Structure 1
């Protein structure tokens, strides 16, 4: 059986409030009744004392005035019970009190019935001219009952009103808590369906606000976990794709390299630069494909240190023919690069990717700048082009695998370059400054084994 939290809060509080208010109202009503009965008894006793002590004769006019003051009927009888004076409209001529048995009493005063009406009886004796007169003070029972009703009505009305307000307040509080708990439940249901948008925290600083805040944190953690899982799935797909493509490309590249080598041996031309560049590119591509094959089998290619100036010269030798082919002006500058980097092959591949992207972005008659140097103990390399730049909507996914705006692109060049540089403890950042697109590489330099050299700042031309 479902037991909603609203009922768990409301019903116990409502029962406690009802019981408490019934007890308090009953006690207040009982006290009021006791007070009314004491007032009636006190009034009759007071009138009795006044009558007994009065020295003036009790004429009809005096009795009428006493009635207006006490709200009681007054009768004067003699020793035989004959009524001498009376304030009653239908006064009996004879009253025999000894023959009547009291119906009940209030504070010691009997309740008797006279001429069909019931009265509380008070008696006062007066001696007058050698005769004894008795004054009967009759207080109507209906007036006493009305006084009791008035006395009970106020506590009951106040108690009922307070109880109603307390129940409504409890209901409002219970519904309010129930709505807040329901909001957290709905948020959890949205998270289970894949919607991780956070909900605003409550303005009330309590445990439910803490719970909502924790659910928001859980949603953010789940969203990040799912993103990591998808990233790992893309990388797993990349490994599988790399393994299949690398196997076929390696055989094709080996055949192409052998054909170029045979042509080089049979060619009598003294200008072997183009052929040598082709052979270098083929050998580098073969080595990268071997690395992909080892990676697809779960084996990492060990990093091989290399002098940075040698890496830069090899990269420049491969890029310059490409720039001439695309009619792009290539500007290269290096200063104080006579030191080793821990992964020459990885840095070369990353720089080739950045420079190739710059050449494609700038187009014919464009300019690509390639600068390298040292700054604050770091190897600083800058690749700049004056192309149209990267679309703003593509910036958040710039280094995301398999996300590309090129028709024939795969979307793994920049992510792989960034991963390679970060594995060396460096950073790869992108910036747009004065119509120039800049990619900056910073890699810490291991000082052991390197000759001291002065610090050279990059010519960033306005870049940060």
Structure 2
């Protein structure tokens, strides 16, 4: 059986309060009624004692005044049971009253007095023997039962009314609070139901600072985390599928590129007099650049076990500049390189990865700058960190993509894949560095920052050179993300 939490809180609280208020009201009503009865009894006793000691005659005017003072009716009779004076308006049989009134009795409560019926109304009767024998032999004090009951009702109804109003207000307040609590709990339940359905929304928190607000904040935070995890999983899954598809395609293309490069090299050997032909050298450089990118496709998504050797920074930048320069000349881009390295023997870890990252940044800058633009590659070292910056004259990423420009598959171009900058950031992170970007004087600056190796680390000069045939180097794909 379902037992809602609002009932778990409301029912015990309401039951306890109802019992407490009702008990208090009944006890108060009982005590007030008892006090009223005692006061009525004390009043009749005082009247009986006072009149029993009085010596004035009981005339009509006297009993009327006593009626006004005490609220009781009076009946004075002589020894022959004749009525001398009375405040009653109905016919009275004195003999009947005398027969129902004992000579003496112990009166503890008002109901101990005998009662008589006169004209359809009941009266408590007290008998008084006058202290001075005059014209009256007996005086009867008659107290209306209706007045006695009314006094008790007046004493009881006020506490009971307060009890009823208190219970009503308590019920309304409790129902209002429980409904508000139930709505907030339902908001949490609804949010988790949406999370289960894959809709990562937010629940309205409200201004009341309590435990349920903390629960709502936690639920909203969980929604954000699940949304982030879903996006990461989606990106990872797309990257894995792309790696599987690109791997097979890149393997075939690399064989074709390798064959083309071997053909050009064979031609240069057969015709050594044409070895200085610039067009053939440019073709070889472009084939080398293409092969670097295809190797990046083959390495995409694979976990590398071996540790890549370090490389000196200066030769690495020379090789990257040599690979990019023909592309810049072809697209009429003004390419400049500035080095502010105090020590040309500085080395960085995982030379192949760093080389791929810089290539991706430069290719991204070429596409962003466009025909007739400008591109600058600069490097400097400070505080043990190497900063390699690529500055282009492009418009920069759109506002909607600025926060996600380094994420996988984020590109502003319809034909873009959006992997170049994300893989460059992965290379920086894997080597203890960072990749960041900013806009500076209408130019876009990407800064690749990573620690340099200590002096006792021996760099591998060969790792910075152009890769030889059949010597795969796990590089990254250079695809524009802007």
Q: 1:423 to 1:444 in 2, by over 3 A?
A: same
State whether structure 2 residue 165 is matched by structure 1 residue 161: yes
What 5-or-longer segments of structure 2 have no aligned partner? Answer: 459-482
The correspondence of residues 55-74 of structure 1 with structure 2, limited to 5 A, is 55-74=55-74
Partner residue in 1 for 2:338: 333
Matched-pair contact (CA < 8 Å) for 1:82–1:93: no
1:135 corresponding residue in structure 2: 139
In 1, Cα distance between equivalents of 2:69 and 2:89? 18
Q: Distance in 2 between matches of 1:148 and 1:276?
A: 121
Could you tell me how far apart the structure 1 residues matched to 2:77 and 2:148 are? 25
String of CA shifts for 1:280-328, please: whole Å, max 9, x gaps. 5534644654564466665556413222111111111122222221222
Determine the structure 1 residue equivalent to 2:243.
239
Can you list the C-alpha shifts for 1:172-220, whole angstroms capped at 9, x where unaligned? 2221211121121112122223333433544333221222222223222
Which residue in the other structure is 1:379 paired with?
386
**2:85 maps to what in 1?**
85
Question: What is the TM-score with the length of structure 2 in the denominator?
Answer: 0.85
| Residues 100 and 114 in structure 2, CA contact (< 8 A), matched pair in contact too | no
Contact kept in structure 1, 2:356 and 2:424, CA below 8 Å: yes
Match of 2:426 among 419, 426, 448: 419
CA deviations on 1:238-277 (whole Å, 9 max, x unpaired) are: 3202321122112211211121112212332252444344
Alpha-carbon distance, 1:61 to partner: 0.9
> Who is 1:199 aligned against?
203
| Distance (whole Å) between structure 1 residues aligned to residue 395 and residue 135 of structure 2 | 135
**SS of equivalent to 1:446:** coil
Instruction: Answer whether contact 2:268 2:275 (CA < 8 A) is retained.
Output: no
Mapped contact 1:41–1:109 kept (Cα < 8 A): no
Give matches, 1:173-252, under 5 Å.
173-252=177-256
Give the TM-score taking structure 1 as reference length. 0.88
- Aligned-residue offset at 1:67: 1.0
- What does 1:5-404 align with in structure 2 at a 5 Å threshold? 5-92=5-92, 94-97=94-97, 99-100=99-100, 106=110, 108-128=112-132, 133-267=137-271, 268-283=273-288, 285-286=290-291, 289-290=294-295, 292-293=297-298, 298-300=303-305, 302-336=307-341, 337-404=344-411
Distance 1:309 1:44, change over 3 A: same
Using the alignment, how far apart are the partners of 2:134 and 2:274 within structure 1? 174
Distance in 2 between residues matched to 1:67 and 1:395, nearest whole Å:
100
Give how far 1:118 is off.
1.9
Compared CA separation, residues 286 and 33, structure 1 to 2 (3 A): same
Measure how far apart 1:348 and its partner are: 1.9
**Residue 93 of structure 1: CA displacement?**
5.7
Which structure has more relative contact order (CA 8 Å, sep 6+)? It is 2
Determine helix, strand or coil for the equivalent of 2:81: coil
Unmatched runs of 5 consecutive residues or more in structure 1: 452-464
Alignment partner, residue 448 of structure 1: 455
Q: In 2, distance between residues paired with 1:22 and 1:335?
A: 90
Do the aligned partners of residues 207 and 130 (structure 1) sit closer, same or farther apart at CA in structure 2, a change above 3 Å counting? Answer: closer
Q: Is the 8 A contact 1:101 1:112 kept in 2?
A: no
Compared with structure 1, are the counterparts of its residues 40 and 406 closer, same or farther at alpha carbon in structure 2 (3 Å cutoff)?
Answer: closer
Q: Provide the rounded CA distance (Å) in 1 between the counterparts of 2:403 and 2:390.
A: 20
